[in-house]
Each structure stands twice: as C-alpha cells, then as structure tokens.
Amino acid sequence: MNNDQPPVRTIEGTPSWRSRALGALVRLALREPLASDADIALLRRRYEALDARYFQPERSVVREAVDCNGVPAEWISVPQTQPGRVIFYLHGGSFAFRFPNAPAAFAARLCQRLGACALIPDYRLAPEHPFPAAPDDCLTAYRWALANGCAARDVVFLGDSAGGNLALVTLSRTRRASEPLPACAVLLSPAVDCTFESRSLVDNEGLDPMLSLADLRVLRGRYLPSQEQYRDPDASPLFADFTGFPPLFLQAGSSELLRDEAVRTAQRAHAAGVDVELELWPATPHNFQMVAFLPEAALAIDQIVRFVVAHSGWQATAKASLAYQT
C-alpha cells in the first residue's frame, strides 16, 4: 500500500438480497424530486411517520430527555451500560430533518456491544435555524457533557451523513479552543463538502436510491443561504485543519453519492498525520448501518466496535456477528 494514501478496505462480495430489496423500496418511496419550494414541515411529518413505523429501540432501552445548556438531547442507556462510556452521537438528516427513533435504535445497538450510553443532541434545524445554529448546538452539548462528569478520553464521537459533518466540525472547534478531544470518532457517509466538488456526486447519480444531487442542492440552500459559506471549514469540514484530530473511522457505500466525501476526508486526515481507516461497502444504501435486518449492517457494526475498542480502551460486551450472508 502507498504510504501516502490512507488505509482503505474495500469490502468484497455482492450486496445481500435484503440490501438490494431495501434499495428498491427506498427508490420507490423517494422517487419524487425535492422542489426548490418544498414544504419542509410536511416532509418532516412524513419522514417521522416512517421512522415511527420502521425503527423502534428494544424495550430494554432507556431513553431520558436532558437539557444540555439549552440544547435538548436524549440519553440512551441499555442493561449493558457501564459507567463513564459515552457515545456522543450527531444524527444525520441534511441539516433539516430529525428522526426520533432510528438514531436511538442504532445507538442502542452500539451501546449494547460496547457497554456504553449515548448522548444524542437535538440540534436546531434549517431552514428555521440556518448555519451556524447546528454546529453551535453540537459544541454546546459536548461542552455540557464534559462539564457534567464525562471524561473526554471515555467519549467517542459518532456521526452519520450531516451528523458526520457536525462531528468533524465539533472536533475542529474543540481543537481550536484547546479543549479536550474525544478518544476517537466514527463517521458514516459524512457530508463534508458543501461546494459539491466530489466526483461521486456525478458518477453515482442514479445509482444512489436515497440521495440525488438536485435534492442536495435544495437542502444546501436551506442550511447555507450564502454561497460564500460553502467553503467555510465550519460548514464544509473537509477544508478544516485536521492536525491533532483523534483517530477516525469512516464507512461509505461504493455506489452512494457521498462516497468520495468519505474518501477525501480520509485523504485529508492521513495527510495531516491522523490515524484513519476507511471502508467502502459494495452498493449499500446510504446509512445502511442503521437498518438492523441487513447482514451488512451487522458486519459494519462489528468493524465499528473493533475500531472503538482499539482506540478507547473499552472492552466489547457482546459477541461479533458470525458471517456475511448474501
């Protein structure tokens, strides 16, 4: 392997039939393009109804509302939770949507494997609250966690899609403020470049069942009203200084629009001397890790757990998945 390039693991094999079926269903459900004047409130109600129907944490999961210095959030704990271990999870949703159940269910599965609890900030959303409201809220919530007994060395950042963006921005702002950084960070298909210069946005158009470039442009305009903001490192953390970041672990699907956002993030981190790993999964849907019935999701979680254990000092509390079944 070229030492000038970050470690990239391309997962071999073909997508499972469940993954292919999910992609087809998502394509049918989201086949209508997002209009420039789309009613975001209506879309939120629609997405939250789907979230309530298909994503529910197990009954043993405890969900507790908490106020993080004015930022509402949710604590997730499970019977396996051990004191001190915290997953600081920043959810995705194109900076405009929230899903009450899917992030909680996904966080709970990781907490079960890692003996941790999770803190999920409910950061403000665009267009009602454009940039920099979301990153401001995420930093406030992280500072609250540190001020209320969470040791940075026992915190792991987790972010998916837009949440991956916010996780990197929170790392960058924390480092610039010379405040304690977490043990490591896990980024799932992070959306890190609001200039939309990644080649996969073009190459994978039509292959990604969930995202389209046209929709991303509409939602970008709701989050960043001015084009001058597109290269701001706090809006597009790909352009941030990665020096001093903790170890990073990235996963993305080979055929999704945001594939190269993950690749370019890994390259930037590696060039800055950051310990970074990247996995590319074959033709999996965006955020496939959150879909519990996918065999790819179980194996992806295995790799997340492996990375976190290696860089946090935690011990896994549940066994890994046995096999990849197509």
Amino acid at residue number 201: L
CA atoms 266, 270, 276, 281: torsion sign: positive
Whole-angstrom distance, CA of residue 80 vs CA of residue 161: 27
Backbone angles phi, psi at 9, to 5 degrees: -110, 115
Closest CA to 295 of 307, 282, 277: 282
- Greatest distance between any 2 Cα atoms in the chain: 49
The residues, ordered by sequence, that sit 6+ positions from 9 with a Cβ below 8 Å of its Cβ are 277, 278, 279, 280
**CA Rg value for the chain:** 18
Residue 67 φ then ψ, to 5°: -105, 115
Are the C-beta atoms of 306 and 279 separated by less than 8 Å?
no
Residue 311: C-alpha distances to residues 170, 246, 321 (Å): 19, 9, 20
d(C-alpha 109, C-alpha 197), whole Å: 34
Q: How many residues does the chain have?
A: 326
**Are 285 and 256 in contact, with CB atoms under 8 Å apart?**
yes
Q: Provide the annotated active-site residues.
A: 161, 256, 286
C-alpha–C-alpha distance, residues 289 and 123, integer Å: 22
CB 134 within 8 A of CB 169: no
| Side chain identity, residue 147 | A
